[in-house]
Structure formats: structure tokens, C-alpha cells
């Protein structure tokens, strides 16, 4: 690669060679990005991962089977029984429509690709595009030719992004991050050129982004903040006016086409900054116009009047509309972004999701490795020439860091700016230290592959690096960091982010891989051997999977739109059978599914999630379900002999441990998750019967008994079945006395 760098020769051939080289390098980066995401496909199979992707997959299949219009109007009566869900109007259709379009395009070319494979590979394919978009965005920030390529590499393999885009992770984020970065690129482009065309393109991709992911609000807030900062810095320009106005007007219209978004852009507080800045920028435009028309003194008065009037009226209007209910105040999920403790107190359902937890600091390093310390350096470099686009990076970095610290999943939105800033810093270092223009040019063999043509830096009058040793040491250590980054990314991807979580891998004693496939075993059993419309009650985590794999109606699922319904399920799970049974009958439940990891030591089971069920139920029925009752007087959460009566009588406990002890010799029944011994006398179930238990007991399915044929209650009927005698009330006899005659 070094051979290509022959100074800034402006020859046609050199230029086209460079372009070709860039294209080749970008193709390699895309290939690396895609192939590093294929661990799970190679290790396991082409399978949809985790929970939400199963819904997206199911929706995509519905779209492909029934066409776009049916999809748009889809009312799904197989979830949230008996309420149903207006699915077509409550989802972001971008992802499904993208896969559907790819599917139909391939079909037109008569390539028979399974829709599942498209869904599985969509995220890796988009990661290649994201790398390219990052390249474009970085190139807007710096003149260094290597920064863009470095940024593309970083973006391609940074674990922070891989975590949400491995093959099979068919979630909205899969395409949303590409759209996010590309929208930002278009925004910068529009802002730089003051071009309506680029502004419109930006709006178009913003619309696509809105159609794809709820995180679009990040763009909706970030662009106005950027505009506001620019204005505050006194950098208002017609370029800004043109690009912002074009983006806002067209983008908002585009976003309102999505049924789920609808009128939110003018009704909710999240969208108000964009609207406010839109108005503000009109005002400034108007003032600028007036200033050119009238004299200075008059202008002063005019300015003050109009500013005070507008702000006052605007603020009053907003407050009035909010209090009248036209504009919705901030939503709970948004509050939890400002106050990390908010969700825990008010919305347990949000707090119960692990990805909504605040980020622990090691995970920054885990997800970004050495980028995290290059990142501030890159931001500092932005301050150096601080053009409009650099202000954007600074603003983005600020907000991105804050949000990433608040919620684990928002690490995803931080990653692009980290990659951009870190690439700027890295390329600055490399450009400086790999420069040939010193007293004696040195042969730098260790030059990292992606770095080339490090000569632009020397155009500036600059102090050079004269010692070859310094050059070798700095670029050498940089090379080491880069290599460590690559190996770290590979390791993280392979170990942390490539498990489908539907299948579990374990090792046989001889080292061969053994697959634990209990989830699918049970779901397949449900799908094949129960009635088509048998309602399955389970905790909401498994709702999407049951819908996708078992194809059975569920009571609650990962959509979590109805807290009360979820609390109802939580109450049924955490109450005594006599309380739960009527609830299940009322909801026409046929089967109850629980996840139980005690045999295998699978820690993500329902007993470990149980307290969340209790908490969510307690939120609605504080008198009937009490979290305290599930703890021993010493405050321990126990499942063994020392468990509280409430715990032992709860449906969840009974379903989990029913019949479990009989698998072991007497006195040896153990729970390998909680590491305790389970009493030999297991719980007794009267209203449910065990219908299916998977091979490793991870999934247990119970059938809800019908009402007794001869009108007994279930406890009596079950006791009779077990052959227990009905307890007769013992007659009180008088005291024995000797017979006296």
C-alpha cells in the first residue's frame, strides 16, 4: 500500500487508482463487517434470535403472504387474548417492508431464497452499508483520506454495534443504525451546501428511519439542537435555513405517514424541540430580512419586541396545550432517560428489561475497546477547526454519551459518533507519524493496512517529526492497539453476542458440541399437538416466541402495551391456585408455559424473574399481591424448605417444582440455579395438569383442567383421584363413663 503513496500527485491515473483502491478497501471492510456477524449462523444455524426478532419475523411472513395492504390493516387476534392488537398500526414497518421488498426482488430474479434467510442476514448486510455511511460521514468531517476508511472499519466491527446486528438479530436496529448514520451524513451534506436537494434526501431517509425504529426521536432532537447551537454561536446562515427547513417540513410530513407515529410529531413533547427550532429559524430568517430593509435603531426595538412576543406566546401556547391535553407530556420511557430511578419506582415493566438498565462503566470498554479513549481526542480535534459539521460531532458526542450512560441499549446510538471521532484522532496520529516528509524518509513496513496516503497533513505548515524512532514507536504502538481492537472485537462478538438464546450450546465430555434445544422442542410440541386456537399463558418474555414458533395465541407478549393485562398474568402466576384458576378460566387459558432452569442450571428462568411478576402485579393489586410475602422474615428470597407459604402456594412455584423431586433419589433433589436442596415432598397441583416437559425441563407446559364433571371443586377432585379419603368431621362424643346400673 505504501507504494501507492507517491505524494499529492494530481494525475488522472493516480486519482483513479486511488478511487479503485478505496472501493476495494470499502468492499473488504463491508465483507469483514458481514462475516464477523456470522458466528451464530456457522456455529448453530440460520435462526432468528431472542425475542423481539421473532415478532418481526412473524410480521414479515405475514407481509409476504398477505401483501402490503393487508399488513397495513393487520389486526392480530392471536396476541393479547382476548383484546387483540392492531398490529399494523402499532409497529414500525420499515424493517418488514425492507425484507419483503428484497424477497420480492429476488423472486423476480427467480432466486428462491427463503424469507427466513433474508431476515437472518438483513442485519449483517446493513452493517456493510453502515460502514460505508460512516465512511461518507467521516469524510465530511476531515480532509484526512484515511479517517473515513478507519471510521468505516471501526464501525464495521465495533462490538457496540455488532451487539444488535449479528445474523439472526432481526430487530429494528438492524437497519435503523444504517439509516441513522446515513441521515446524519445527508444532513451534514445539506448543511454544508445549503442544498434543498440534499435536505430533501435527508428528509427522505429520515422518513425511512421513522418507519423503522422508535429511536428516530434521537434524530428529531439532535438536528434541532445542532441548529440551535449553531444559531447561538452566531452561525446562522441561509444554508442552515434552507437545509433545516427542507428537512423539517418534508421529514415531518414523511414521518406522519406511518400510522404508529401519526400526529405525534405535532402532539408530543419529544417532537417539540424540532417544531420550536423550525419556528425560531423562520423568525430569524424574517429578522434577517427585516434588518436588510430597515435602519439600525428601529431594528433594535423590532428585534426585542418580536423576540419577547414570540417566546412568550410560544411558551404560553405550549403550556396551555399541554395542560389541555392536546400535547402529550413526556412519556415514561423518556422520563427514565433523565431520572434513572424513575422507571424502577413508577414503571416496573420498563425496569424489568435488562437492556433498560443504566450502563455499567466496564461495558463502555467492552463495547468500544480503545475507541473509548480515542473518542475524547477526536472530539478535541473537532474543536480545532470547529466548522458547522464539527459542532455536530460535538453535540452528538455530548448527547450520545449521556444517553449511553443512562440506558444500556443506547450504547448503539453512541457507537457511530465514537467511531467517527476515534477515526479522526487515529488518522491524525497516523498521518502525523507516518509522514514521509522528514529529514530522512523511513521505510514504515508496519503501516496499518487501511492507512494510506498520509501526506495531506504535510500541506499545512507543521512541525514535523524528525526522529525515526518516535515515528516507529508511535505508529507501532498504534498498530498494536489496532490489532488488539480487532482481536477484542472478534472475541466479544464470538463470545458475548452470537448466542441465539433460543438454542443453548453445551459441551459433551469429549469436547463435541451438544445443542440444548428445549425451547423449540416444547414450541414444536405446542404447534403440532394442541388445538389451533389453544391460548397459552406465559410471562410476557415468551409471548413473541410462542407466537412465532408455536403459532398459538398468547395472553401477553413483548409488546407490553397493556400493563394491566400483564399484571393480570403476573397475578395469576403469583397467587394461590384458588385465585389463579378463575383468572385463567376468564381468559380462556388452555395451557400455561413456564421456563424452569433448575435441572440444567439455566439461570434465565421464571423463578428468577418471578419478583418482577410480583412487582408488576402489586402495582395494580397492592392488596392482593405483596412482594414482602415472598421474602422470608430475614429478607431472603428462598425456594427450598424455608420458602414462605405465599411462595410455596404461588402458581409459579408449584408449576416450576411440580414432580421435580421425583426425578432424584430421596433427599437429593437440587436446584442447580439457586444452589439449594428442594424438599422431597413436591407441591400439589389441583387445577392444572402437566402436559409436556421438555427434555432438560427448561420448558414446562401445563394444561388447565376443565371444570369438574360432577361439580366438585378441583382440590376435592384431585384428592379423590389420589385416593385420599374425604375427611369426615369427627363426631364429638360425650365423655366415657362406666355403665352404671
Partner 1 sequence: MKSLSVIAALLGLLAAGPCSAFSTVALPADFKPPPVFKNNMLVHVISVEKTYAKEQINVMLENVSDEPQSEYFLPFTAEQIARVGAVEAKDRKDDTIGPFGVDLVEYDALSDVQYYRITLPSPLKAGGQYPLAVSWVYLNSYRPLPASIGQDEQQFLVYDFSLFAPSAYTTLKQKTEVKFSTVTIPDYTTTFGPEGQEYPQKVGSKMLYGPFDEQPAGAFFPAQVRFEFTKPVIHVSTLERDIEVSHWGGNVAFEERYTLYHLGANLSTQFNRVKWAQSQFYNPASTALKELKFPLQIGSVDPYFTDAIGNVSTSRFRSSKREAMLELKPRYPVFGGWKYPFTIGWNTNAANVLRNTADGGHVLKIPFFEGPRQAEGVEYGEVNVRVLLPEGSENVKYYTSIPDSSIVEHSVDVHKTYLDTIGRTSVTIKAKNLGDEFRYRDLVITYETPLAGTLRKPVVVFASMLAVYAAAWALGKVQVGFSSK
Give Cβ neighbours of residue 145 (< 8 Å, ≥ 6 apart): 18, 452, 453, 456
The only residue of 11, 12, 112, 727 in contact with partner 1, by rule CB under 8 A: 112
Our CB check for partner 1 shows the closer of 109 and 740 to be 109
Cβ at position 43, least distance to partner 1 in Å:
12
Q: Please choose, out of 241-249, 318-326, 516-524, 614-622, the segment that lies near partner 1 by the rule CB under 8 A.
A: 516-524
DSSP 205-238: HHHHHHHH-TTHHHHHHHHHHHHHHHHHTT---H
Element containing residue 204 per DSSP (H, E): helix 196-212
Taking CB under 8 A as the binding criterion, the range among 322-330, 386-394, 440-448, 657-665 that sits at the site for partner 1 is: 657-665
Here the cell at position 660 is 421435580
Helix or strand (DSSP H, E) at 516:
strand 513-516
> Considering the complex, what minimum distance in angstroms separates the CB of residue 522 from partner 1?
8
242 touches partner 1 by CB under 8 A: no
Selected binder of partner 1 within 91, 136, 404, 691 (CB under 8 A): 691
Q: Which residue has the cell 492497539?
A: 481
Distance in Å, CB of 139 to partner 1, minimum: 19
- CA 716 to mean position of chain CA atoms: 49
Helix segments in 455-542, DSSP class H = 468-495, 518-529
Q: Which of 568, 693, 704, 717: binder of partner 1 (CB under 8 A)?
A: 693
607 neighbors 656 (Cβ within 8 angstroms): yes
The answer to whether residue 527 forms part of the interface with partner 1 (CB under 8 A) is: yes
Residue number, 488 or 700, with CB nearest to partner 1: 700
The single residue among 24, 483, 515, 684 that binds partner 1, judged by CB under 8 A, is 515
How far apart (Å, rounded) are the C-alpha atoms in residues 661 and 680? 5
16 backbone dihedrals φ, ψ, rounded to 5°: -75, -30
Q: How many residues does the chain have?
A: 741
- Minimum CB separation from partner 1 for residue 529, in Å? 5
The widest CA-to-CA distance across the chain, in whole angstroms, is 138
Minimum distance of partner 1 from residue 551's CB (angstroms): 8
Strands 504-507 and 513-516: antiparallel
Single out the segment in contact with partner 1 by CB under 8 A; choices: 13-21, 39-47, 480-488, 532-540: 39-47
Is residue 155 within 8 Å of residue 131, measured between CB atoms?
yes
Residue list 474-513, contact with partner 1 (CB under 8 A): 503
Q: Name the minimum Å distance from CB 695 to partner 1.
A: 8
From 406, 281, 285, select the one nearest 336 (Cα to Cα): 406
Q: What is the CA angle 329-399-402, rounded to 5?
A: 90
The one segment of 151-159, 172-180, 523-531, 626-634 that binds partner 1 by CB under 8 A? 523-531
Nearest distance from C-beta of residue 10 to partner 1, angstroms: 20
Q: With respect to partner 1, which residue has the nearer C-beta, 594 or 617?
A: 594
Q: Are the beta carbons of 290 and 306 closer than 8 angstroms?
A: no
State which of positions 547-606 bind partner 1 (CB under 8 A). 549
Q: Please report how close the Cβ of residue 193 comes to partner 1 at its closest, in angstroms.
A: 11
45 interacts with partner 1 by CB under 8 A: yes
Pattern 163-202, binding to partner 1, x per CB under 8 A? ----------------------------------x-----
Q: Does 525 bind partner 1 (CB under 8 A)?
A: yes
Measured distance CA(375)–CA(146) in Å, rounded:
16
Site residues (CB under 8 A) for partner 1?
44-47, 109-112, 197, 503, 515, 517, 520-521, 523-525, 527-529, 549, 659, 662-663, 689-695, 697, 703
Amino acid at each position: 500500500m505504501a507504494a501507492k503513496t507517491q505524494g499529492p500527485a494530481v494525475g488522472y491515473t493516480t486519482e483513479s487508482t486511488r478511487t479503485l483502491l478505496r472501493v476495494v478497501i470499502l468492499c473488504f471492510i463491508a465483507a469483514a463487517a458481514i462475516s464477523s456477524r456470522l458466528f451464530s449462523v456457522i456455529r448453530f444455524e440460520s435462526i432468528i434470535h431472542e425475542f423481539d426478532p421473532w415478532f418481526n419475523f412473524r410480521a414479515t411472513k405475514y407481509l409476504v403472504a398477505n401483501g402490503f395492504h393487508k399488513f397495513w390493516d393487520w389486526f392480530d387476534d392471536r396476541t393479547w387474548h382476548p383484546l387483540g392488537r392492531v398490529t399494523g398500526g402499532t409497529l414500525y414497518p420499515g424493517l418488514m417492508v425492507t425484507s419483503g421488498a428484497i424477497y420480492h426482488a429476488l423472486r423476480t430474479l427467480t432466486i428462491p431464497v427463503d424469507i427466513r434467510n433474508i431476515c437472518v442476514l438483513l442485519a449483517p448486510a446493513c452493517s456493510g452499508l453502515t460502514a460505508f455511511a460512516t465512511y461518507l460521514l467521516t469524510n465530511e468531517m476531515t480532509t484526512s483520506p484515511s479517517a473515513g476508511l478507519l471510521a468505516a472499519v471501526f464501525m464495521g466491527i465495533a462490538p457496540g454495534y455488532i451487539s444488535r446486528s449479528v445474523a439472526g438479530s432481526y430487530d429494528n436496529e438492524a437497519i435503523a443504525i444504517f439509516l441513522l448514520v446515513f441521515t446524519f451524513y445527508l444532513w451534514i451534506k445539506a448543511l454544508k451546501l445549503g442544498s434543498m436537494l440534499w435536505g430533501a434526501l435527508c428528509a427522505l431517509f429520515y422518513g425511512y428511519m421513522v418507519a423503522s425504529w422508535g429511536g428516530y426521536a434521537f434524530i428529531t432532537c439532535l438536528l434541532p439542537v445542532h441548529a440551535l447551537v449553531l444559531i447561538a454561536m452566531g452561525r446562522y446562515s441561509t444554508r442552515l435555513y434552507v437545509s433545516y427547513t427542507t428537512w423539517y417540513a418534508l421529514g415531518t410530513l414523511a414521518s406522519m405517514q406511518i400510522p404508529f407515529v401519526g400526529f405525534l410529531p405535532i402532539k408530543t413533547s419529544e417532537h417539540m424541540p424540532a417544531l420550536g427550532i423550525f419556528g425560531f429559524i423562520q423568525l430569524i430568517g424574517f429578522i434577517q430580512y427585516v434588518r436588510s430593509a430597515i435602519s439600525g435603531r428601529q431594528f433594535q426595538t423590532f428585534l426585542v419586541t418580536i423576540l419577547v412576543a414570540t417566546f412568550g406566546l410560544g411558551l404560553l401556547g405550549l403550556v396551555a396545550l399541554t395542560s389541555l391535553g392536546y400535547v402529550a407530556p413526556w412519556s415514561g420511557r423518556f422520563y427514565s432517560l433523565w431520572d434513572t430511578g424513575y422507571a424502577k419506582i413508577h414503571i416496573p415493566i420498563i425496569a424489568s428489561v435488562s437492556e433498560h438498565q443504566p450502563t455499567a462503566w466496564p461495558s463502555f470498554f467492552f463495547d468500544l475497546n480503545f475507541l473509548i479513549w480515542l473518542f475524547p481526542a477526536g472530539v478535541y480535534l473537532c474543536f480545532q477547526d470547529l466548522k458547522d459539521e464539527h459542532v455536530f460531532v460535538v453535540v452528538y458526542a455530548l448527547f450520545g454519551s449521556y444517553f449511553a450512560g443512562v440506558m444500556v441499549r443506547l450504547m448503539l446510538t453512541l457507537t457511530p459518533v465514537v467511531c467517527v471521532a476515534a477515526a479522526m484522532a487515529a488518522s491524525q496520529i497516523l498521518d502525523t507519524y507516518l509522514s514521509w516528509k522528514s529529514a530522512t524518509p523511513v521505510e514504515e513496513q508496519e503501516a496499518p493496512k487501511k492507512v494510506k496516503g498520509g501526506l495531506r497533513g504535510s500541506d499545512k505548515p507543521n512541525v514535523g517529526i524528525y526522529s525515526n524512532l518516535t515515528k516507529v514507536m508511535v505508529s507501532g504502538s498504534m498498530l498494536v492497539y489496532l490489532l488488539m481492537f480487532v482481536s477484542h472485537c472478534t472475541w466479544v462478538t464470538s463470545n458475548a453476542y452470537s448466542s441465539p438464546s433460543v438454542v443453548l450450546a453445551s459441551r459433551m465430555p469429549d469436547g463435541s458440541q451438544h445443542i440444548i434445544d428445549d425451547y423449540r422442542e416444547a414450541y414444536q410440541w405446542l404447534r403440532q399437538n394442541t388445538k389451533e386456537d389453544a391460548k397459552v399463558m406465559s410471562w410476557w418474555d415468551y409471548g413473541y416466541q410462542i407466537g412465532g414458533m408455536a403459532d398459538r395465541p398468547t395472553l401477553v407478549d413483548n409488546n407490553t402495551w397493556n400493563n394491566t393485562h400483564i399484571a393480570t398474568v403476573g397475578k395469576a402466576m403469583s397467587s394461590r391456585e384458588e385465585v389463579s384458576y378463575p383468572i385463567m378460566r376468564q381468559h380462556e387459558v388452555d395451557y400455561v408455559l413456564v421456563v424452569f432452569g433448575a435441572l440444567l442450571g439455566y439461570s434465565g428462568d421464571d423463578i428468577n424473574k418471578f419478583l418482577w411478576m410480583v412487582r408488576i402485579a402489586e402495582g395494580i393489586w397492592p392488596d392482593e399481591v405483596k412482594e414482602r410475602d415472598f421474602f422470608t422474615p430475614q429478607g431472603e428470597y428462598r425456594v427450598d424448605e424455608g420458602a414462605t407459604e405465599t411462595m410455596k402456594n404461588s402458581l409459579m412455584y408449584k408449576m416450576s417444582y411440580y414432580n421435580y423431586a421425583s426425578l432424584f433419589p430421596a433427599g437429593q433433589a437440587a436446584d442447580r440455579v439457586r444452589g439449594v436442596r428442594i424438599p422431597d415432598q413436591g407441591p400439589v397441583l389441583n387445577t392444572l395438569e402437566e402436559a409436556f416437559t421438555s427434555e432438560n425441563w427448561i420448558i414446562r407446559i401445563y394444561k388447565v383442567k376443565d371444570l369438574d364433571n360432577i361439580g366438585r371443586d378441583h382440590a376435592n377432585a384431585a384428592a379423590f383421584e389420589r385416593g385420599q379419603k374425604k375427611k369426615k368431621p369427627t363426631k364429638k362424643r360425650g365423655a366415657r363413663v362406666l355403665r352404671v346400673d
